[in-house]
Amino acid sequence: MKKVFVVIILILIVAFAANVQAENATIFKIGEDITVEEGVRVNHVLAINGQITVSGTVEGNVIAINKSIVLTRKAVVKGNILTIGGVIVRGKGAEVQGTITAINSSNISDAITTVLSGEWEGWSWVFAIISLTIFFSVLIIAVLIVILIPKPVRVIAASIQEETVKITLWGLLGMVLVVPLAILLTISVIGIVLIPLEMILIVSAGLLGFIAMSQILGQKLYALFKRPPQHIIRETFWGLVVLWLIGWIPYIGWMVKVLALMMGLGAVIYTRFGSHSPKRPQPAFKSAP
């Protein structure tokens, strides 16, 4: 059953990659503005921290994160339009066949209310884009960490496999004490200054532990297919992909991610950010008669 599940996941990944390659007219940029000139036809347009200006035809969606979208009078968008942290400027004569959504400081509360009230039909693709953006951000950070400091990741991963029960208890304790510790720090002036440091440590510990859990999962994935051990980057990459896909399973996905985060946090605390490798007690040697 496990092998069938993993095979299905891999097939979905390959299909997704093939689809992305097929859509060679899709434009994606980070930190740069995008302009679709008049007479130009593209599939999708996605910009992070860059403005999008459309004068041509977009067959799919137009999405801008932390910037605005400008539609000139010649623009034709057959999909949806979304901006998070920006505004949408629509010229007279611009054609939009899908929905137009702008989420910024002026209407964020209304957007949250709509989602929580259950009136979120048509929002699924928005959450998919946000989830994909977060996934790629974590993936980039994970690759940098395993390249720059692979030893702590290996130490943390090893402790999770060798001391699973202790690690889980440490993680549970760490999660429970986050809020009380922050409250205690607010009592004194020095403590208030230390609250941001606590948050940074907690986030760093959780992220490092989550990456170690991903490395373990990737390692198990290769072992399941009877493949030899791979480089830590490959193991971490596939582990993150599997965890991201599992996260889409209703009811179960978020619980699996929370469990992985809790165990990872516990391992980071137990190993002191991967600087201390717990050693198993050696059996005592009996003296020869």
Please write the tens of the pLDDT for every residue from 248-286. Answer: 787 888 888 889 999 999 999 999 888 877 665 544 444
Say how many Å lie between the first and final Cα of the chain, rounded: 53
Is residue 47 pLDDT above 90, yes or no? no
215-220 average pLDDT score: 90
Whether pTM exceeds 0.75: no
Q: Supply the pLDDT for residue 82.
A: 84
- Strand 34-36 and strand 27-30: pairing? unpaired
222-249 average pLDDT score: 86
Taking alpha carbons only, the member of 78, 76, 86, 91 closest to residue 33 is 86
Using CB atoms within 10 A of its CB, is residue 145 exposed (0-12), middle (13-18) or buried (19+)? Answer: middle
In angstroms, the CA 276 to CA 170 distance is 15
Is residue 15 pLDDT above 50, yes or no? no
At 57, the pLDDT band (50, 70, 90 cuts) reads: very high
Using CB atoms within 10 A of its CB, is residue 212 exposed (0-12), middle (13-18) or buried (19+)? Answer: buried
- What residues form DSSP beta bridges with 48? 30, 65
Are the C-beta atoms of residues 121 and 129 closer than 8 Å to each other?
A: no
- 221 membership: H or E segment, kind and range: helix 189-224
Q: Please tell me which residue, 17 or 223, carries the higher pLDDT value.
A: 223
Q: For the packed helices 2-22 and 189-224, what is the interaxial angle rounded to 10 degrees?
A: 100
* Cβ count within 10 A of residue 135: 16
Q: Is the dihedral of CA 248, 252, 256, 259 positive or negative?
A: positive
Q: Where is average pLDDT lowest: 117-131, 150-164, 235-249?
A: 117-131
Q: What is the mean pLDDT of the chain?
A: 79
- Strand 41-42 and strand 57-58: pairing? parallel
Q: Supply the pLDDT for residue 274.
A: 81
- Strand 81-84 and strand 62-65: pairing? parallel
Q: Please tell me which residue, 35 or 16, carries the higher pLDDT value.
A: 35
Using CB atoms within 10 A of its CB, is residue 273 exposed (0-12), middle (13-18) or buried (19+)? Answer: middle
